[in-house]
Amino acid sequence: MTMWVFGYGSLLWNPGFEVAEMRVATLEGYARSFCMSSIHHRGTVERPGLVLALDEGPGACRGMAMRVAPGQEEPTLSYLRERELISSAYLEKTLHVSFQVGGTAQALVYVIDPHHVQYCGGLPLEEQAQIIAHAVGDRGANTEYLYNTADHLHEIGLHDPDLDWLAERVRALTA
């Protein structure tokens, strides 16, 4: 059985599993947003950072659909659950994605639970920048997460104006 995973943040530049194929894809009804407080990977309980999540609502998110290497479906699912469900702030869903070129697929997607304590949707961009500029977690600086994601989106020809603004503002704050 073919398994697709939709990446929109760190999975783009650090999937952590064997990818057989990558295609630019769109997920309707969700937006990429720094709407999850990070108390593990990019912040701490005392000084939370912010990580991207898919927030349900109007619009769409362009990202990358990654086809898991044949025979690696079960190990990949186990790995992703350990990585993404660390605090239960994400919900694991299988959703319909449309490829930029050639068709559609069902993909494994991690979206934010808007009822979880780590949900912080709607923060103004300046507040997001202030948080990201200073937070550090067990996987490193929150700035690294932002820069890697924004840079990788550009590398694959996808542009996110909010991420571009945040990257520029955070660079200015940390200069």
User: Is 84 assigned a catalytic role?
Assistant: yes
**Separation between Cα atoms, residue 50 and residue 100, nearest integer Å:** 29
Pairwise CA distance, residues 125 & 163, whole Å: 9
Q: How many CB atoms lie within 10 A of CB 119?
A: 16
**Are the C-beta atoms of residues 132 and 142 closer than 8 Å to each other?**
yes
Per-residue confidence of the chain (175 residues) as pLDDT tens digits? 899 999 999 999 999 999 999 999 999 999 999 999 999 889 999 999 999 999 999 999 999 999 999 999 999 999 999 999 888 899 999 999 999 998 999 999 999 999 999 999 999 999 999 999 999 999 999 999 999 999 999 999 999 999 999 999 999 999 9
Predicted TM-score (pTM) of the model is: 0.92
- What one-character DSSP code corresponds to residue 117? T
* Nearest one of 164, 153, 89 to 129, comparing CA atoms: 164
- Choose, from 73, 74, 82, 84, the residue flagged as catalytic: 84
